Structure 1
């Protein structure tokens, strides 16, 4: 039975809220423990362990480990690793405005994948127009800030755009290949992500950095408490992500991520030290209005 619109809206709001607060938590953790891959390993590894224990105790419905299912989720973990890495490299080689503006263009690629690979109804004119508003507003904000900065490497920005477009499609395909509980999907996703990121931590020699942080006294109660909280929050965002993808299209999920980034720019513009130009703020409002119109247009199209 299809979920009610109110429940879907609640899921979307919950995922976006947890995602935003996770960003703040990760910044706080990495400010004290600047070993990003090790932090991610703790987050996904602890989540997989907790879910395995709760599943064995019959407190949650967690699917038992099967090699064939693990093989399917390997591709989801690989797509996630590509997304995380390309995002980090894009932000390293371009300003945030460039990354956000180009990221919105990935919605159209995801929408095409939805139609071709997942048999989702094609966008009608109103839905397409609303997505154009989202992307056009983000591009307008980018241009209001002076456009592309010197030294920008568009290769990494486009790579991030591509992986961002592909990730929800890959995840939906993996989900469709196996009938599982949402807790089971969360368990497999975190377990396979943990396994696939171990070589990255070894290559980056982050064990040496962790030892250095311990010697400097950086690994203290505050840092470990924040890390533990981020592990719980990571489980929540993973669970809500799969629950959302069970109830919305890959395109809508991609749009949720873009709206989150745009809202972050709005908050930074209101509270940050550097104020955005008036036209830049107007462009962001256009993007947010477009996101709202898209939701309404798809609701009417499905009715």
Structure 2
């Protein structure tokens, strides 16, 4: 599987599909060979000989393929993240057990990666007890963030979820600087984060469905997500796993934590009560359809999310998630009856606008082309005395 580079903020999102990305990235191995004329290659008898001047075209095609892969990863993440919030809300309304729902998502993701790996459709790192122990803190952070996400969607509307999701970059920016030793954001970046904060404040003040339990879960979600993004960014860059290995380890270890959540939150007792009452039709299609879709999209966002985490900062990754919530807002306004007021929606859009401003403030200019390396001269070919040295020596001899 070729190495996947991730979204950078200087690339503009387009409507290019992930299928196009898969086709273009397949060109990279051949182009790697073409773009390096110094390597020895095996040619057929009737093969066309490429002139040295044509290597530039091969480099351009390789660059276009790389850019297509970057855009494909970003588009895939945006689509998965935007639709997952709506699908999760739909699933939690039909299946009001947040812990069990997330456990099903973990199982589908881990089992899917394992099966596809056995079939040779993808490559993932083998399970190693030492790596699992090292990865455990990240899995705990991931589990808590997803669980609080489900609880927030159960107790509040999608608008509230989006607003608190939008506020995560404010805390991630601080954590990234203090923990990952990144430089403090520039003034423009702080201004854009301030816009996000103002938009969130406007939404909270004008929320007609304000409830203490909902906002308690919102605060827990905000804290857990901030820690999760910073710490998992550190793990991704240091643990040495490939993308599918990260998905396998993350979801498998989170699944192993599910029994502990049943004991702490008492969801097991609630499950037995609802089963005895027969209040939920466990075999109904309208129950398992949203649950199944949430599992599939959970696997998709795991892959695209880890791919993006490799190439951008933790704060930039969270802001990418904020921007794609615009599609979620549009779907939410069309589908659900319970959503924010007009002023609250404006506050929500202000949060998303702050995310766009942040993305622009952190965009880096394109690097200048490297200067040509100076010609190397063998030591035997260098003169013992340079002309300037001779003139200086003669000047000293003619001096007083």
Structure-2 change in CA distance of 1:150 and 1:30 (3 Å): closer
2:196 counterpart of 1:141: no
Using the TM superposition, give the Cα deviation of residue 183 of structure 1 relative to its aligned residue in structure 2, in angstroms: 0.6
Which of the numbers 138, 149, 174 marks the counterpart of 1:76?
138
Which of the numbers 281, 293, 303 marks the counterpart of 2:357?
293
Contact 2:93 2:154 in 1 (8 A): no
Using the TM superposition, give the Cα deviation of residue 261 of structure 1 relative to its aligned residue in structure 2, in angstroms: 5.0
Match of 1:188 in 2: 249
CA distances 1:10-56 after superposition (whole Å, capped 9, x unpaired): 43332121122223333343344333322222221122122112223
Match of 2:259 in 1: 198
CA distances 1:118-155 after superposition (whole Å, capped 9, x unpaired): 24343111122112112222222333446x94646765
2:78 counterpart of 1:16: yes
How many residues matched? 302
- Greater per-residue helix proportion: 1
CA distances 1:62-109 after superposition (whole Å, capped 9, x unpaired): 100001111122112211222234345556777766665555443222
Q: Cα RMSD between the aligned structures?
A: 3.4
Which of the numbers 219, 222, 225 marks the counterpart of 1:164?
225
In structure 2, the gaps of 5 or more residues are 12-66, 368-400
Match of 2:191 in 1: 129
User: Relative contact order, CA 8 A, sep 6+: which one is greater?
Assistant: 1
Contact 1:134 1:291 in 2 (8 A): yes
Contact 1:110 1:251 in 2 (8 A): yes
Which of the numbers 272, 278, 284 marks the counterpart of 1:220?
284
Match of 1:250 in 2: 314
Of the structure 1 ranges 231-240 and 93-102, higher mean CA displacement relative to structure 2 is found in: 93-102
CA distance in 2, matches of 1:125, 1:139: 21
Contact 1:115 1:122 in 2 (8 A): yes
2:96 counterpart of 1:34: yes
The SS at the match of 2:362 is helix
CA distance in 1, matches of 2:299, 2:326: 24
Contact 2:166 2:322 in 1 (8 A): yes
CA distance in 2, matches of 1:29, 1:97: 17
Contact 1:95 1:149 in 2 (8 A): no
Contact 1:101 1:139 in 2 (8 A): no
User: What pairs up with 1:256-275 in 2 under 5 angstroms?
Assistant: 256-261=320-325, 264-265=328-329, 267-269=331-333, 272-273=336-337
Using the TM superposition, give the Cα deviation of residue 209 of structure 1 relative to its aligned residue in structure 2, in angstroms: 5.5
The SS at the match of 2:125 is coil
Using the TM superposition, give the Cα deviation of residue 245 of structure 1 relative to its aligned residue in structure 2, in angstroms: 0.8
In structure 1, the gaps of 5 or more residues are none
The SS at the match of 1:208 is helix
Structure-2 change in CA distance of 1:213 and 1:25 (3 Å): farther
Of the structure 1 ranges 137-146 and 37-46, higher mean CA displacement relative to structure 2 is found in: 137-146
Give TM-score scaled by structure 2 length: 0.64
Contact 2:82 2:327 in 1 (8 A): no
Give TM-score scaled by structure 1 length: 0.82
Match of 1:118 in 2: 180
Structure-2 change in CA distance of 1:66 and 1:264 (3 Å): same
Higher-Rg member (1/2): 2
The SS at the match of 1:184 is helix
CA distance in 2, matches of 1:21, 1:60: 25
CA distance in 1, matches of 2:232, 2:253: 13
